[in-house]
Amino acid sequence: MSIDHYLDDEQLALVEGVQEFAQQVIAPVSAQHDRDKTFPYEVISQMGEMGLFGLPIPEEYGGQGGDYFTLCLALEEIGKVDQSVAITLEAGVSLGMMPLLKFGTEEQKQRWLPDLAEAKHLAAFGLTEPGAGSDAGGTQTRATLDDGTWTINGNKEFITNSGTDITSIVTVTAKTGENEISTIIVPTETSGFTAEPAYDKVGWNASDTHPLTLEDVQVPEENLLGERGRGFANFLDILDEGRVAIAALATGAAQGCVDESVAYAKTRKTFGRAIGENQGISFKIARMQARAYAARAAYYAAAKKLISGQPFKTEASIAKMVASEAAMDNARDATQIFGGYGFINESLVARHYRDSKILEIGEGTTEVQLMLIARSLGL
């Protein structure tokens, strides 16, 4: 059951191609990368060759010339089988490339985007700090401009794609004045930039996430991304788009739990019959499917408004909240359906159970989404 009737032939072909790739290339190595906590370079390279990282990037910058909705469709299919790979794509595009595409100079776009669009390199966005998460306006990292050079000092936390062997740049938010936050592109080979040891996470174990230290990091004045003092406002714009992408990823996770549970319920037998014949199990899976369907409808609606140029901030918050909660609820129910097998890390539903919680936290917590939705109602 789906709402594929909203998709044209080209979009359906993309979905089928990514679905096949996810099942045949990503899924077979997911458990090992999760267990070993290793970054799947070989998978990311193949995704780059397929053009997945360049889906919403114009052809003149090495991309596929598609739109943000096509990225979301790909994220849903990958999210079904491996959230670590999906978040690598999501962050690499929405947080890594889209700020460059939307706010960068022509020179910055030509310099950085082509290699990023082919996943030869990855980009990250350094926003969150030890004392500035949901309250990102509390940024303490500072950048001073002297004789054409920015000098940056500060710390960042929970930065995705920031420490891989192919990470080339991290765009950081920094205070450039008393009440002024700007964004500055920092190449990772810059002296004073350090990706500290990776986090030991509950989930997303094959995703690259590090705290960052910037100690007297110096970059040219032209590495300013966008207008000085508009860094925070620009990032909020990027974050709205990212929430739609996260909703697509979460929808994939929710649907993946449904698909696994249906297959298991048809083959697992207790007391002489398949467990799917028990109403308690079948009704649980029916509710799971309803959640996944609602999540998909929510992110489709938000994505359609996004690509048509209409205001979509509230729809993005609704989609992000509905889909992330669907992923977490479905992962819990799928684990219960699988019983003991659902508690074994080799199991896909076990990985979804560990992975899905962060979907209710990253790129704006559920509480932040509720605040934004309430604000849109005049409350």
| 363 is known as an active-site residue | yes
Structure tokens at 160: 């995705």
Given a contact cutoff of 8 angstroms between Cβ atoms, the answer to whether 226 and 300 are in contact is no
> What DSSP assignment string belongs to 59-76?
GGGTS----HHHHHHHHH
Q: Tokens standing for 171?
A: 């765009």
Catalytic residue among 118, 241, 325, 363: 363
DSSP states along 273-293: EEGGGSHHHHHHHHHHHHHHH
- DSSP letter string over 170-212? EEEEEEEETTEEEEEEEETTSTTEEEPPPP--SS-TTS-EEEE
**Cα 185 to chain center, whole Å?**
20
Q: Tell me, what amino acid is at 303? A: A
CA–chain centroid gap for 276, Å, is 33
Non-local CB neighbours of 129 within 8 Å, separated by 6+ positions: 138, 139, 140, 141, 154, 155, 156, 157
If one counts every other C-beta atom within 10 angstroms of the C-beta of residue 332, the result is: 18
The one-letter amino acid at 350: A
- Catalytic residue positions? 363
